[in-house]
Structure formats: C-alpha cells, structure tokens
Amino acid sequence: MIKINGKSENAALGKSISEYLEQSGYKANQVAVEINGDILPKAEYSQRQIAEGDTIEIVSFVGGG
C-alpha cells in the first residue's frame, strides 16, 4: 500500500515522482516532497520510483502578502 497525503494511492505504484506530480496537476517547482520521513531533492524527482510501502507527503508553496 502507498499513502500520499494520507490517502491510499496504489495506482501511483511504479511511477516516478515527476510522473505522479505531473499527472496529479502539481508543478514540481512549487512543491516539496517527503518520502518516508525524508525530503526528496528536486533533482531526484525523475529518478525516484514510488514503491510499495511508501508514505509520501506533498506540500505546495503558497505566496501571499
């Protein structure tokens, strides 16, 4: 089972973080991704495959004043 932002997302299995972000409507330059408690460097988004048992948190940056 894979959890992304607290929800089961088994359809993401085997996709790269970049693929998942793009298909889910996220802009990679506007998010931070944590996998199993560790922040994933943006340079690794296209290389890191989503694997069984991963817990992923995606945090979007919001500007304002």
Per-domain boundaries in the chain: 3-60
More confident residue, 11 or 65: 11
Is it the case that residue 64 has pLDDT exceeding 90? no
- CATH of region 3-60, choose from 3.10.20.30, 3.40.50.720, 3.30.565.10, 3.40.30.10: 3.10.20.30
Number of H helices, E strands in the chain: 1, 5
Which residues, listed in sequence order, are joined to residue 65 by a DSSP beta bridge?
none
pTM over 0.85: yes
Which two tokens mark 38? 């560790």
pLDDT at 65: 62
- Per-residue pLDDT band for 23 (boundaries 50, 70, 90) equals very high
